[in-house]
């Protein structure tokens, strides 16, 4: 409940919870709440409900009676975007009211056994009442329930709600005359009878005159509504539940209290009934009956008419509060970024410090391209001065909210449903809130900015010297009423070479026709759909859960589901790294998206595939064969890695990542295979992705050299550990290349490729040294690594630490201190390619040597430590990764969020703590939970099926939308059929218990 104590409001007034909030859905009881009785004229409520539906509000009428009664009385025929449902027959049926009338959308079908059980339970109840001297009859056999009249007397044949007090007295007197305490005792008798009749979970309800034994009740109606709403991103805090019987009557819980279900937590609950027995905490008591209910509806219509700022469901499990205070503005802007894969805008940060609007793949020109900053469209013009401002991001629905003690409220979105639609609405005192500022110059001096007005719209364009640009078209609305100003902007963007004003205007017209409320509703629904395949739940630690959801939120925001996606190091959340694409995208972000949003992963691969020509050219330039992807790329796929940077004294320093960090070639092939493994789209590797894997393999064939030892070597490379910049035979690079060559050979052979070439690749793969040291049982990171100073960073600094600054370059390169997972990264990516038993040896050896001075390191170690059965250590590093931006651990979050770390967070959860791995058509599940977590659940897609995996101390539960195969804890391959199955740990299964943190 949103309120912890019941609140009573005087006639004509409403408590703040009712007037301050715009509800997206109404769920209410019919008889006694919306109308005085079933014969009353419902014109007043009909007109209001139709108006609310026109305004986009979803309405659920809940009643125990049948559709003929309710529809006949209500007679509403809504024609708006809001939907009207009749949840009838006490939870057993749902009808949607359409222009042509009600249409059944759900019915609870009883089995024959249940029908017999209902009959038997009713007969037993009557029998037991008669035994006590109370005559009662089964008066009706309604759908899924039996209705027993406990006062079958003419005077009380059809009492109106208004006579509830008299009815209760009469029934109680009648029962007490027979020695039965009250109607509550009758309910208990019926419940016992139902249990004796074999009806598990029977719902027993009473309206005082009747006791009903049923399979469903109003709670089922509320749950159905909650589920339907949740699929559209509408959750409890956006819902108003109304009734007239929440409090107990004669020892029986009020029937409307059944609508207060956990699925609607944080809903505002209002009773308009007399409630003689009082109401539970959290319920607003208005009294006044249906007339008062109409006032509630009018208040909502007023809010809609005034275009008041929509409400955000402040669910603490989903809402992130942004940092506040001087000095945190830019960090808050990054954390408040909203992106839809195609475009992204940073948060507000208290007046705008480093605001940015960018479009995926649209870069400035020149040797060092960066994401082109587009026109700014979000700034509010408010009275200058100190402001007490609070901002929060609703991760569930992708909204950035702002509120101040002055009464100013604002909400904005970057539409997930229509990638070109942007919206912001704000309200405040007319004196304080002046307007939404005009489209603004992004402040970049090398970007040209044009500004114009056409067709009541404001347009602005930023362009580079070569004509690539971003256009934003915006149209504002303003309303001042009762000294409150409401301002609203809908905007559309278009981008690319020579972007046209008219394109943006056309998009704006379409968006404008839909309107803010509809766009927002579609945006919420699109986010709900995204989360269906991506939800993370961590029971036992709310902070970990929120941090994990924040990571997944930005993964889902990183790439569009069609076309191509250039996922830069900081995504679309900031200017750092210019939006350049690194291996981070392929190895950290893509595998997560392959599982939680396969279409976006495909877009990321498309980015690589469309730049194969550039990669071939780079290979040729470096006198190699095949395709060599650059370490950093932007729009055209050419190498944009800086080669020289100015040193402290101005002299140039050579940057070697571009020339030596060639493992990216295999990383991209690995990503393609991961995509195929998660999606089951194996045709991708033999079809559109074939050249991506094969051309890159050709690079290795030309890069490796045979040494005097007769083995193949990769000289002069840089592994993930950038503290040791030019080394020979980096184990990570070599084993990735080996795997790549073999995989490519297999694809080539399967697709009629050159058999000789495939054979040569296999021969080369077999000859490649991998650095395995049998004596130590693990891999030497590169040739000569073991001879370096055996310095353990664990012993000299608190980690993570930038050891390059701590130790200085000279000391660092001569030591075994490494920046990040390198050999351990190999274990993470290719667990089946490394020597059996080497994981533990390598973890023990490299972990103390790792500074975690890279944002990529902690999550990977967390994943591998968990897999190695060390979940408590894993949790420590998981938290570093998950909170990297939330706590600004790097001091650079202001420049944008670390997208790859978010990918690592998901991988730590999936590959590490849940132990997920794909093996052909089987999903391996092998959980290792830390003791702080009671349960971990992930939703994802595996080979097209919607999968849910949840592990706790009792079991691993798999849910699935289609049949799938799983293997739990190394057991047998097992088929799961929808809706899924559970794999309990045995009572004496100590291994299973320890995996689940028990």
Name the H helices within 661-789. Answer: 664-679, 683-686, 690-703, 731-750, 755-767
How far apart (Å, rounded) are the C-alpha atoms in residues 674 and 765? 20
φ, ψ for residue 178, nearest 5 deg: -105, 10
Taking the CA of residue 529 as centre, how many other CA atoms within 13 Å lie in the half-sphere pointing to its CB?
10
How far apart (Å, rounded) are the C-alpha atoms in residues 169 and 162? 13
Candidate list 24, 458, 722, 847, residue with the active-site label: 722
Q: Please, what is the minimum distance in Å from the beta carbon of residue 655 to other proteins?
A: 8
User: Binder to other proteins among 299, 612, 801, 932 (CB under 8 A)?
Assistant: 801
What does the longest C-alpha to C-alpha distance in the chain come to?
109
Give the other-Cβ count within 10 Å of 932's Cβ.
14
Q: Please, what is the minimum distance in Å from the beta carbon of residue 576 to other proteins?
A: 6
Does 650 contact other proteins by CB under 8 A? no
Tell me the window of 173-181, 524-532, 536-544, 792-800 that interacts with other proteins (CB under 8 A).
792-800
Q: Please, what is the minimum distance in Å from the beta carbon of residue 895 to other proteins?
A: 4
User: Binder to other proteins among 426, 576, 693, 712 (CB under 8 A)?
Assistant: 576
Q: Please, what is the minimum distance in Å from the beta carbon of residue 796 to other proteins?
A: 9
- Specify the residue, 539 or 804, whose C-beta has the smaller distance to other proteins: 804
CA gyration radius for the chain?
Answer: 32
Token pair 């009643």 is found at 63
For helices 690-703 and 731-750, the axis angle rounded to 10 degrees is 130
- Specify the residue, 117 or 800, whose C-beta has the smaller distance to other proteins: 800
Q: Please, what is the minimum distance in Å from the beta carbon of residue 888 to other proteins?
A: 9
Q: Please, what is the minimum distance in Å from the beta carbon of residue 656 to other proteins?
A: 12
- Specify the residue, 783 or 806, whose C-beta has the smaller distance to other proteins: 806
- The answer to whether residues 349 and 332 touch, using CB atoms and an 8 Å cutoff, is yes
Catalytic, 427? Answer no
Does 804 contact other proteins by CB under 8 A? yes
* Residue list 687-706, contact with other proteins (CB under 8 A): none
Count of residues touching other proteins (by CB under 8 A):
34
User: Binder to other proteins among 10, 100, 200, 645 (CB under 8 A)?
Assistant: 645
- Specify the residue, 569 or 601, whose C-beta has the smaller distance to other proteins: 569
Name which of 267, 971, 927, 900 is nearest 538 in CA terms. Answer: 927
* Residue list 294-333, contact with other proteins (CB under 8 A): 326-331
Tell me the window of 81-89, 171-179, 772-780, 854-862 that interacts with other proteins (CB under 8 A).
854-862
Does 853 contact other proteins by CB under 8 A? yes
Give the H/E segment covering residue 457: strand 457-463
Does 805 contact other proteins by CB under 8 A? yes
Q: Please, what is the minimum distance in Å from the beta carbon of residue 645 to other proteins?
A: 5
DSSP 908: I
Does 889 contact other proteins by CB under 8 A? yes
Name the H helices within 31-111. Answer: 43-54, 67-74
- Binding letters toward other proteins, positions 366-385, x by CB under 8 A: --------------------
- Binding letters toward other proteins, positions 651-670, x by CB under 8 A: ----x-x-------------
Tell me the window of 42-50, 287-295, 480-488, 804-812 that interacts with other proteins (CB under 8 A).
804-812
Q: Please, what is the minimum distance in Å from the beta carbon of residue 898 to other proteins?
A: 8
φ, ψ for residue 817, nearest 5 deg: -70, 130
Give the other-Cβ count within 10 Å of 349's Cβ.
23
Strands 25-29 and 58-62: parallel
User: Binder to other proteins among 566, 669, 731, 884 (CB under 8 A)?
Assistant: 884
Tell me the window of 254-262, 757-765, 784-792, 795-803 that interacts with other proteins (CB under 8 A).
795-803
Q: How far apart are the first and last CA of the chain?
A: 32
- Specify the residue, 167 or 664, whose C-beta has the smaller distance to other proteins: 664
Q: How far does CA 297 lie from the centroid of its chain?
A: 32
Q: Please, what is the minimum distance in Å from the beta carbon of residue 447 to other proteins?
A: 19
Name which of 73, 311, 218, 882 is nearest 550 in CA terms. Answer: 882
Residue 365, C-beta contacts closer than 8 angstroms, at least 6 positions apart = 464, 465, 466, 468
Token pair 């030892």 is found at 709
- Specify the residue, 351 or 984, whose C-beta has the smaller distance to other proteins: 351
3-state secondary structure labels for all residues of 107-154: ECCCCHHHHHHHHHHHHHHHHHHHHCCCCCEEEEEECCEEEEECCCCH
Does 781 contact other proteins by CB under 8 A? no
How far apart (Å, rounded) are the C-alpha atoms in residues 896 and 909? 23
Does 854 contact other proteins by CB under 8 A? yes
Does 852 contact other proteins by CB under 8 A? yes
User: Binder to other proteins among 892, 907, 918, 959 (CB under 8 A)?
Assistant: 892
Q: Please, what is the minimum distance in Å from the beta carbon of residue 884 to other proteins?
A: 7
User: Binder to other proteins among 54, 353, 435, 917 (CB under 8 A)?
Assistant: 353
User: Binder to other proteins among 800, 912, 937, 948 (CB under 8 A)?
Assistant: 800
Residue 249, C-beta contacts closer than 8 angstroms, at least 6 positions apart = 164, 168, 183, 206, 208, 276, 277
- Listed in order, strand segments (DSSP E) in 150-216 are 203-206, 210-214
Residue 37, C-beta contacts closer than 8 angstroms, at least 6 positions apart = 31, 160, 161, 162
Q: Could you tell me the two tokens for 753? A: 């490729």
* Residue list 936-995, contact with other proteins (CB under 8 A): none
Q: Please, what is the minimum distance in Å from the beta carbon of residue 408 to other proteins?
A: 24
Does 808 contact other proteins by CB under 8 A? yes
Q: Does the N-terminal peptide bond of residue 809 adopt cis geometry, omega within 30 degrees of 0? A: no
- Specify the residue, 290 or 579, whose C-beta has the smaller distance to other proteins: 579
Q: Could you tell me the two tokens for 545? A: 């859960």
Q: Please, what is the minimum distance in Å from the beta carbon of residue 380 to other proteins?
A: 21
The DSSP line for 352-393 is -SS--EEETT-B--SSS--BPP--B---EEE--S---EEEEE
Angstrom distances, CA of residue 595 to CA of 586, 910, 916, 945 = 13, 10, 11, 10
Does 577 contact other proteins by CB under 8 A? yes
Q: Could you tell me the two tokens for 411? A: 């909400």
- Specify the residue, 192 or 802, whose C-beta has the smaller distance to other proteins: 802
How far apart (Å, rounded) are the C-alpha atoms in residues 938 and 919? 18
Does 890 contact other proteins by CB under 8 A? yes
Does 802 contact other proteins by CB under 8 A? yes
Does 444 contact other proteins by CB under 8 A? no
- Specify the residue, 51 or 856, whose C-beta has the smaller distance to other proteins: 856
Angstrom distances, CA of residue 419 to CA of 415, 507, 758 = 6, 11, 43
Q: Please, what is the minimum distance in Å from the beta carbon of residue 333 to other proteins?
A: 11
Does 841 contact other proteins by CB under 8 A? no
Does 462 contact other proteins by CB under 8 A? no
Does 856 contact other proteins by CB under 8 A? yes
Does 515 contact other proteins by CB under 8 A? no
- The answer to whether residues 748 and 691 touch, using CB atoms and an 8 Å cutoff, is no
Does 891 contact other proteins by CB under 8 A? yes
- Specify the residue, 726 or 802, whose C-beta has the smaller distance to other proteins: 802
- Specify the residue, 334 or 395, whose C-beta has the smaller distance to other proteins: 334
User: Binder to other proteins among 294, 806, 813, 993 (CB under 8 A)?
Assistant: 806
- The answer to whether residues 433 and 382 touch, using CB atoms and an 8 Å cutoff, is yes
Give the other-Cβ count within 10 Å of 5's Cβ.
9
Binding residues for other proteins (CB under 8 A): 326-331, 353, 569, 576-577, 645, 655, 657, 797, 799-802, 804-806, 808, 852-856, 884, 889-892, 894-895
Active site residues: 722
């Amino acid at each position: 409940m949103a309120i912890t104590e019941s609140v009573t409001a005087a006639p004509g007034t409403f408590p703040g919870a009712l007037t301050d909030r715009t509800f997206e859905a109404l769920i209410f009881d019919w008889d006694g709440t919306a109308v005085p009785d079933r014969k009353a004229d419902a014109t007043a409520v009909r007109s209001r409900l139709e108006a609310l539906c026109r305004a986009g509000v979803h309405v659920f009428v809940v009643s125990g009676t049948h559709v003929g009664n309710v529809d006949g009385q209500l007679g509403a025929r809504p024609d708006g975007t809001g939907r009207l449902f009749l949840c009838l027959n006490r939870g057993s049926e749902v009808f949607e009211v359409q222009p042509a009338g009600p249409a059944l959308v759900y019915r609870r079908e009883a089995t024959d056994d249940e029908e017999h059980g209902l009959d038997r339970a009713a007969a037993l109840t009557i029998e037991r009442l008669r035994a006590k001297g109370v005559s009662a009859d089964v008066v009706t056999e309604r759908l899924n329930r039996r209705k027993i009249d406990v006062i079958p007397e003419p005077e009380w044949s059809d009492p109106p709600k208004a006579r509830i007090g008299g009815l209760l007295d009469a029934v109680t007197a009648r029962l007490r005359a027979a020695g039965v305490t009250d109607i509550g005792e009758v309910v208990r008798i019926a419940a016992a009878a139902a249990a004796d009749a074999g009806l598990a979970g029977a719902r027993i309800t009473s309206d005082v005159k009747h006791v009903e034994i049923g399979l469903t009740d109003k709670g089922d109606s509320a749950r159905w509504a909650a589920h339907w709403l949740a699929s559209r991103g509408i959750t409890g805090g956006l819902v108003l539940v109304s009734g007239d019987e929440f409090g107990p009557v004669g020892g029986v819980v009020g029937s409307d209290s059944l609508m207060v279900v956990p699925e609607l937590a944080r809903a505002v609950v209002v009773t308009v009934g007399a409630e003689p027995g009082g109401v539970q905490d959290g319920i607003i008591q208005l009294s006044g009956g249906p007339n008062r209910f109409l006032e509630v509806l009018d208040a909502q219509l007023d809010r809609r008419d005034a275009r008041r700022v929509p409400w955000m469901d402040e669910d603490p499990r989903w809402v992130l509060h942004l940092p506040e205070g001087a000095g945190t503005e830019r960090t808050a802007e990054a954390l408040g970024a909203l992106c839809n894969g195609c475009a992204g805008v940073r948060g507000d940060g208290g007046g705008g410090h480093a605001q940015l609007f960018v479009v995926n793949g649209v870069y400035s020109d020149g040797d060092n391209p960066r994401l082109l900053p587009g026109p700014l469209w979000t700034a509010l013009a408010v009275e200058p001065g100190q402001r007490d401002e609070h901002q929060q991001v609703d991760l569930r629905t992708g909204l950035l909210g702002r509120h101040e003690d002055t009464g100013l409220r604002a909400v904005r979105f970057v539409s997930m449903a229509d990638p070109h639609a942007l919206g912001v609405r704000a309200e405040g005192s007319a004196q304080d809130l002046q307007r939404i500022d005009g489209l603004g110059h992004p402040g970049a001096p090398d970007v040209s900015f044009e500004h114009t007005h056409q067709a009541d719209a404001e347009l602005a364009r930023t362009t580079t010297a070569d004509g690539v640009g971003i256009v934003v078209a915006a149209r504002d609305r303003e309303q001042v009423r009762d000294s409150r100003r409401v301002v609203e902007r809908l905007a559309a963007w278009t981008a690319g070479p020579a972007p046209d004003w008219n394109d943006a205007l056309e998009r704006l017209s379409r968006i404008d026709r839909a309107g803010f409320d509809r766009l927002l509703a579609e945006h919420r629904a699109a986010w709900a759909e995204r989360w269906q395949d991506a939800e993370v739940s961590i029971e036992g630690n709310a902070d970990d859960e929120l941090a994990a959801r924040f990571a997944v939120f930005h993964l889902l925001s990183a790439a569009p589901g069609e076309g191509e996606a250039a996922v830069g190091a900081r995504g679309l959340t900031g200017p750092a790294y210019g939006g350049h694409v690194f291996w981070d995208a392929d190895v950290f972000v893509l595998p997560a998206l392959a599982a939680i949003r396969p279409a976006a992963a495909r877009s990321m691969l498309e980015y690589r595939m469309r730049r194969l020509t550039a990669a071939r050219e780079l290979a040729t330039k470096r006198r190699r064969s095949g395709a060599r992807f650059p370490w950093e790329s932007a729009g055209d796929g050419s190498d944009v890695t800086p080669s020289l940077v100015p040193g402290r004294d101005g002299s140039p320093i050579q940057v070697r990542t571009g020339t030596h960090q060639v493992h990216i070639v295999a990383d991209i092939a690995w990503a393609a295979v991961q995509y195929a493994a998660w999606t089951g789209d194996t045709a991708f590797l033999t079809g559109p992705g074939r050249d991506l894997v094969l051309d890159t393999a050709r690079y290795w064939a030309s890069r490796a050299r045979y040494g005097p030892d007769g083995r193949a070597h990769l000289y002069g490379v840089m592994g993930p550990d950038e503290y040791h910049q030019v080394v020979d035979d980096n184990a990570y690079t070599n084993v990735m290349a080996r795997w790549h060559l073999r995989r490519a050979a297999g694809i080539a052979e399967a697709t009629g490729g050159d058999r000789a070439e495939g054979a040569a690749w296999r021969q080369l793969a077999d000859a490649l040294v991998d650095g395995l040291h049998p004596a130590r049982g693990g891999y030497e990171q590169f040739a000569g690594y073991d001879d370096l100073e055996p310095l353990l960073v664990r012993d000299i600094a608190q980690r993570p630490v930038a050891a390059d600054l701590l130790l200085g370059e000279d000391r660092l390169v001569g030591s075994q201190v490494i920046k990040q997972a390198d050999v351990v990264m190999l274990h993470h990516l290719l667990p089946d390619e490394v020597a059996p038993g080497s994981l533990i040896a390598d973890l023990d050896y490299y972990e103390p040597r790792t500074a975690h001075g890279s944002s990529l390191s902690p999550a990977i170690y967390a994943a591998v430590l968990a897999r190695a059965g060390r979940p408590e250590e894993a949790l420590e590093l998981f938290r570093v990764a998950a909170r990297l931006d939330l706590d600004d651990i790097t001091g650079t979050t202001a420049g944008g969020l670390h997208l790859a770390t978010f990918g690592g967070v998901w991988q730590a959860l999936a590959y590490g703590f849940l132990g997920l791995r794909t093996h052909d058509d089987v999903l391996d599940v092998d959980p290792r939970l830390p003791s702080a977590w009671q349960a971990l659940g992930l939703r994802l897609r595996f080979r097209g099926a919607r999968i849910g995996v949840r592990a706790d101390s009792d079991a691993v539960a798999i849910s699935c939308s289609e049949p799938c195969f799983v293997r739990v804890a190394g057991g047998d391959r097992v088929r799961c059929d929808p809706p899924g199955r559970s794999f309990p740990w045995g009572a004496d299964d100590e291994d299973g218990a320890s995996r689940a943190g028990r």
